[in-house]
Amino acid sequence: MAILEIRNVSKFFGGLAANSDVSFEVNEGMIMGLIGPNGAGKTTLFNCITGYYPPSKGEVVFDGKRMNGLQPDKVCKLGMARTWQKVRPLAKMTLLDNVMVGALCRTNSLKVAREMAMEQIGVVRLEHKAGFLAGGLPIGERKKLEVARVLATRPKLLLLDEVMGGLNPAESEDIIKLILDIKAQGKITQMVIEHDMKAIMRISDRIVVLNSGEKLAEGEPQEIVNNPEVVAAYLGTE
């Protein structure tokens, strides 16, 4: 069953079509990979889906509800949470407080929020950093903070925007394991933007390829690597 339907979504910035007529569905429980060269419109699509700005055309349906025009806070409450490609830590708050802000989406009690937050901090294995200011953490840990913080909002659909960008191989491996663990638990559907081809091929059940704002291809990882158009798009821009 589709938890997310993207129907003919376009987004224009002045004359530039950052997304044009993109359609696809994400089924419950799966990991959907979203790839494409830099500037293909991946982040823009995340922004349209999560209400950061409304799509210029088309619609986004989540869990049977039409999302167009809903503000990000409503979208989060409905169970869709995203991380940011350019990390956005709440710098002068501790790691624990950052994750608690996520948890407070589901509770009014600081005590409950603290327990929920510690649980997610455990999931990303940063217990020893819980009391540190978020702004002072190295990039790898700030990426993990983002993941713990959105997990604490108890999402049904998780949108991860290049969470492995800037990480060393060991840290990337941690994140891959984390994404696969989440899938194994079966409660959260994931859509993942990633530049590392090996990683995305390994984790995705299906992949959508964007190029210059348009959907270039969609299919299982094997189909995608063997698709001449996809290969050309990547070779053409490298």
Partner 1 sequence: MKSFNNRLASIRGAGTVKIVGVIAVAAILFAFPRFVESPYALHMMILFFLSTLMGSSWNIIGGYTGQYSVGHAAYFGTGAYTTMILLTFKDIPPWYGVWAGVAAAVVVALVIGTICFRLRGPYFVLASIAVAEIIRVTALNLTDLTKGAEGILLTDIPPFMIGDTILTDFSSKVPYYYISLVLALLMILVTWLVQNSKLGYYFQAIREDQDAAHSLGINLTIWKNAALVISAVFTSLAGSFYAIFVKFIDPTTVLPLDLSVQIVLISIIGGIGTIFGPVVGALVLVPLSEMLRSNIIAQGLINSGLVSAESATGIFLKEHLAHAHVLIYGILVVIVILFMPEGVLGFFRTIVARKRKGAA
- Residues binding partner 1 (CB under 8 A): 50, 52, 71-73, 75-77, 81-82, 84, 88-93, 97, 100-102, 104-105, 108, 110, 113, 127-128, 130-131, 149-150, 153
Nearer to Mg ion, 43 or 189 (CB): 43
Can you spell out the DSSP letters for the chain? -EEEEEEEEEEEETTEEEEEEEEEEEETT-EEEEE-STTSSHHHHHHHHHTSS--SEEEEEETTEE-TT--HHHHHHTTEEE--SS----TTSBHHHHHHHHHTTT-S-HHHHHHHHHHHHHHTT-GGGTTSBGGGS-HHHHHHHHHHHHHTT--SEEEEESTTTT--HHHHHHHHHHHHHHHHHTS-EEEEE-S-HHHHHHH-SEEEEEETTEEEEEE-HHHHHT-HHHHHHHHHH-
From Mg ion, partner 1, ligand ADP, none, which one binds at residue 180 (CB under 5 to 8 Å depending on kind)? none
Nearer to ligand ADP, 44 or 189 (CB): 44
- The reply on whether position 212 binds Mg ion by CB under 5 A is no
Strands 16-27 and 206-211, by their bridges, are unpaired
From partner 1, Mg ion, ligand ADP, none, which one binds at residue 166 (CB under 5 to 8 Å depending on kind)? none
Per CB under 5 A, the list member of 56, 85, 107, 212 interacting with Mg ion is 85
Q: Which two tokens stand for residue 231?
A: 């290969």
Per CB under 5 A, the list member of 43, 83, 189, 190 interacting with Mg ion is 43
Nearer to Mg ion, 37 or 155 (CB): 37
> Is 206 in contact with 224 (CB distance < 8 Å)?
no
- The reply on whether position 79 binds ligand ADP by CB under 6 A is no
Residues 30 to 49: which contact ligand ADP by CB under 6 A?
Answer: 36, 38-44
What is the closest distance, in whole angstroms, from the C-beta atom of residue 156 to partner 1 in the complex? 14
From partner 1, Mg ion, ligand ADP, none, which one binds at residue 185 (CB under 5 to 8 Å depending on kind)? none
Residues 11 to 30: which contact ligand ADP by CB under 6 A?
Answer: 13, 16, 18
From partner 1, ligand ADP, Mg ion, none, which one binds at residue 105 (CB under 5 to 8 Å depending on kind)? partner 1
| Contacts to ligand ADP by CB under 6 A | 13, 16, 18, 36, 38-44
